[in-house]
Structure 1
Amino acid sequence: MNPINQPITLPCRAILKNRLVKAAMTERMSNSSYEPTEAHQNLYKIWAETGAGLLITGNVMIDKNHMESAGNIFMGDEKMIPKLKDWSDSSKGPGNHIWTQISHSGRQTNRFVNPRPKAPSAIQLKKLWLFGKPQPMTESDIQEVIQGFAKAAKISQESGFTGIQIHAAHGYLLSQFLSPKTNHRTDKWGGSLENRSRLLLEIIRVCRKTVGNEFPISVKINSSDFQRGGFTEEDSLIVVKKLEEEGIDLLEISGGTYEKAAFFMGNDKKKESTIKREAYFLDFAKKVREVCDVPLMITGGFRSFNFCNDVLGEGDCDLIGMGRPFIGNYNIMGDFLHGKIPYLENPPIRTGFSAFEDAAEGGYYARQLINIAEGRGLKPNLNPMASSMFIVKHEFKKARQKSRKAK
């Protein structure tokens, strides 16, 4: 049997039925109360039917004032548990897991949600006109974040989700604390790598105490920020070892931030080495294997059935994460898992203007995801330039709806 179809037992003794994972992608579809909707249920039912062993949700946020998108779900109110349970129930096919990706966006908070977000330090993200200048967090703010993650973990568990992923990558709050480029603090939360990693490790400890030893806790971390003065591969390997010592159940490797989006590398002109390897972070995964025995997931770039099996068979990672293929190829992912489809195609999204390419890519897939969730299916001819404007317009519209309700 192909390795991608083999089960795996995690350290907490949870069993994933195969090695294919639907990686996290922001849905942007919550209602005016930050709750999941029927669109979430429709979308995750489709994904559960692909047969993937694990589905990881898009960002669910621990703080209403720090949303990456005005359409995020808030995971901080027990009154929402019935609707969250409807979502988790719809996400369960035969034997698959469904985990929430819990997060705080810090300086990457949408300015329509909060024009003065809190972050490790007052360093503004200047991209897409979407982010305000942050305020440095106080000690009280940091303690609230720790408890917010613990509460989100508990609500996830009580809502029927079968695990959590703590998002410490892609420039969100925990990634901001890890990076010397965005963390200029001089207290116990900044400076040395030991201090910069303190918040992530404290959150893992509190979450583990909250959910118990048999509930999977995963962490998503950058291999590096791919920015001068940022979080490096050397830093990441040290933190990875600390994560193993804390007893996490799965480590997902990604990379980049909104300023340097390595997680959107799929449509760049591919280097010869990338064409040969296919997966973006495989070289770094091999370094992780030398220092850490935690089950390892790589997300980014996997497209061919044979290559997925080669990587798994060689032991370079334990799980294959895919994001955009679960949008652009959602109706054939089951056939791919069983080798009936040898390769997953994803079209390049290009405006012809370099300043708009990341926005076009993100907007295109955000629009397609919403189309699928609302029953319209894929629209292959979406205009790239219109897609580049979609996220800004969509966020403004969502934020206005929620602002009106608050009044």
Structure 2
Amino acid sequence: MSVVPETPDAPRSLSSPLTLPNGQVLPNRIMKSALSEALGTSDNAPDIRLTRLYGRWAEGGYGLLVTGNVMVDHRHLGEPGNVAVEDRRDMDALSRWAKTAQDGGTPIWMQINHPGRQGNPVTTVGGTIAPSAVGLDIPGIPAPRAATTDEIESIIERFAVTAALAEEAGFDGVQIHAAHGYLVSQFLSPLSNVRTDEWGGDIDGRARFLLEVIRRVRSRVSPGFAVGVKLNSADFQRGGFSEDESRAVIAMIGDLPVDLIEISGGSYESPAMMGKSVSASTASREAYFLEYAVTVRDIAPHIPLAVTGGFRTRAGMDDAIASSACHVVGLGRPTAVAPDAARDVLSGRIDTLPSPSISVPVPARFATTRSVRSLDGLLDLQWHTDQLHRMGAGKEPDPARPITRTLVSSLQRNGIDAVRAKRRGPAGAPSAAASSRMAGVLSLVRRYVVGPIVRIFRGGPTSGA
């Protein structure tokens, strides 16, 4: 396909192809954004269910498919079931995964990631690692230890090795995950990175890790292989990574050979990417991060922008592309219940995508507490993961799936230890704040989630007390 590079005054629509800086062509402007599938084998290889799932999305008409978290170190997983790519041992399975998507005419990029302090306590070997020994403000998650300079260099190298293996397996590109509170994002945030060496301090020092990862990755892959970055507009925490700092990072990325920047926001402490922590006025608009994207599109004008988070209507997507607010529309959770979303939108078959609202069944007075909002975000993520597992098993999504069934499947996938209080104070005992928050979460879970499950099994009513 021969496509003329985009110019500022060129007409564009959702169906317009997009030529990236490296010459790769996306057939349209709708991207299936990363969703963590948790469909790896027990030894972190791609499972046949991943092939089935991406075969389903390959039929969905997307311009680009981005995989869920592929970890660069099997000792540090975001959750059980993550794929980890460190060497050539799973090359056949990786190649089948890539080819399945490409058989539908869609490029596929591998999202490469390290969880840092967001590593799952059940699967992490040797404890979690982060820029600094600053724990998550989420009940039950143990505090990390600070990475040494040698460990930082080793992790940068791991990103490059994984990217090179992705190209060898036949993927069309990689996306470096620098958002949502994972390790690269942790380096960027002044809350989680309090280092005083060359990897911390001001935004130049805190951005160094991301920039070195980009440089190392690009040095190991061919010019035609795409390198993208997923970046937060902000982390939506007081004193955290701000929009001004995000704009400064985009200016730095603009000096490097990057092919696409995807804008998102938030973390699992403050899940703005799921609409859980943005303001009511922001949530009422269609795309949570579109206004921010408009403020950065001229900072690195040669790098296309994708925006993910909140797009639900064909009109909203059309407007975003036609107005040049962004070059690509990213869809995440809607693709878990509507795998043909892009084809349906582009053909005009549907005007509004389904958007199930997943929340813990608690009284209204508890719904806005931090513990409940954190649990809401986690269960929303797990509910959508359930839909991916259904498609991986060759079934259709189930938009009516009860949240109580998701709680059971979540505990099965992640292990009960993942919701136990493990954060330790200086004396080795659980900190009072962590224990209090954890007790509150578990009390709510027992009363309003576990209780209804028990009543279901006993054949009684399921309404909460």
Q: State whether structure 2 residue 399 is matched by structure 1 residue 390.
A: no
Which residue number in structure 1 is paired with residue 297 of structure 2? 289
Q: State whether structure 2 residue 320 is matched by structure 1 residue 320.
A: no
Deviations 1:369-393 (Å, cap 9, x if unpaired)? 1011112222233222442453343
Which residue number in structure 1 is paired with residue 398 of structure 2? 379
Q: State whether structure 2 residue 233 is matched by structure 1 residue 213.
A: no
1:248 shift after superposition: 0.6
Equivalent position to 1:300, from 293, 309, 312: 309
Which residue number in structure 1 is paired with residue 287 of structure 2? 279
Q: Counterparts of 1:8-407 in structure 2 under 5 Å? A: 8-114=18-124, 116-127=127-138, 129=140, 131-265=141-275, 271-272=280-281, 274-275=283-284, 277-293=285-301, 294-353=303-362, 354=367, 355=372, 356-388=375-407, 390-396=409-415
CA distance in 1, matches of 2:318, 2:68: 26
Deviations 1:298-356 (Å, cap 9, x if unpaired)? 00111111221111001000000001111111145422222211111212112233313
SS in 2 for 1:218: strand
Bigger shift: residues 358-367 or 199-208: 358-367
Q: In the alignment, residue 280 of structure 1 is paired with which amino acid?
A: Y
Q: Is the 2:130–2:147 contact (alpha carbons within 8 Å) kept by the matching residues of 1?
A: yes
SS in 2 for 1:253: strand
Q: State whether structure 2 residue 24 is matched by structure 1 residue 5.
A: no
Aligned length: 396
Q: Which runs of 4+ in 1 moved over 4 A?
A: none
Deviations 1:173-193 (Å, cap 9, x if unpaired)? 000000000001111001111
Q: In the alignment, residue 58 of structure 1 is paired with which amino acid?
A: G
Any stretches of 5+ residues in structure 1 without a counterpart? Answer: 400-407
Bigger shift: residues 154-163 or 287-296: 287-296
Q: Is the 2:275–2:283 contact (alpha carbons within 8 Å) kept by the matching residues of 1?
A: no
Deviations 1:213-232 (Å, cap 9, x if unpaired)? 22110000000010011100
Bigger shift: residues 293-302 or 347-356: 347-356
Q: In the alignment, residue 149 of structure 1 is paired with which amino acid?
A: F
Q: In the alignment, residue 164 of structure 1 is paired with which amino acid?
A: V
Which residue number in structure 2 is paired with residue 405 of structure 1? none
SS in 1 for 2:138: coil
1:140 shift after superposition: 0.9
Q: In the alignment, residue 139 of structure 1 is paired with which amino acid?
A: T
Q: In the alignment, residue 248 of structure 1 is paired with which amino acid?
A: V
SS in 1 for 2:102: coil
Q: Is the 1:60–1:101 contact (alpha carbons within 8 Å) kept by the matching residues of 2?
A: yes
1:32 shift after superposition: 1.4
Q: In the alignment, residue 406 of structure 2 is paired with which amino acid?
A: S
Which residue number in structure 1 is paired with residue 446 of structure 2? none
1:132 shift after superposition: 2.0
SS in 2 for 1:5: coil
Which residue number in structure 1 is paired with residue 5 of structure 2? none
Q: Is the 1:359–1:388 contact (alpha carbons within 8 Å) kept by the matching residues of 2?
A: no
SS in 1 for 2:262: strand
SS in 1 for 2:415: helix
> Does the C-alpha gap of structure 1 residues 385 and 94 become closer, same or farther in structure 2, counting only changes over 3 Å?
closer
Q: Is the 1:107–1:119 contact (alpha carbons within 8 Å) kept by the matching residues of 2?
A: yes
1:289 shift after superposition: 1.4
CA distance in 2, matches of 1:236, 1:245: 15
Q: Is the 2:70–2:82 contact (alpha carbons within 8 Å) kept by the matching residues of 1?
A: yes
* Percent identity of equivalent pairs: 38
Deviations 1:95-114 (Å, cap 9, x if unpaired)? 31100000000000000012
Which has more radius of gyration? 2
Deviations 1:81-128 (Å, cap 9, x if unpaired)? 111001111111343110000000000000001262111111112426
Q: Is the 1:359–1:389 contact (alpha carbons within 8 Å) kept by the matching residues of 2?
A: no
SS in 2 for 1:4: coil
1:65 shift after superposition: 1.2
> Does the C-alpha gap of structure 1 residues 248 and 340 become closer, same or farther in structure 2, counting only changes over 3 Å?
same
Q: Is the 2:179–2:266 contact (alpha carbons within 8 Å) kept by the matching residues of 1?
A: yes
Any stretches of 5+ residues in structure 2 without a counterpart? Answer: 1-10, 419-465
CA distance in 2, matches of 1:51, 1:98: 13
Give the RMSD, CA atoms, in angstroms.
1.9
> Does the C-alpha gap of structure 1 residues 154 and 269 become closer, same or farther in structure 2, counting only changes over 3 Å?
closer
The alignment's TM-score, normalised by the length of structure 1, stands at: 0.93
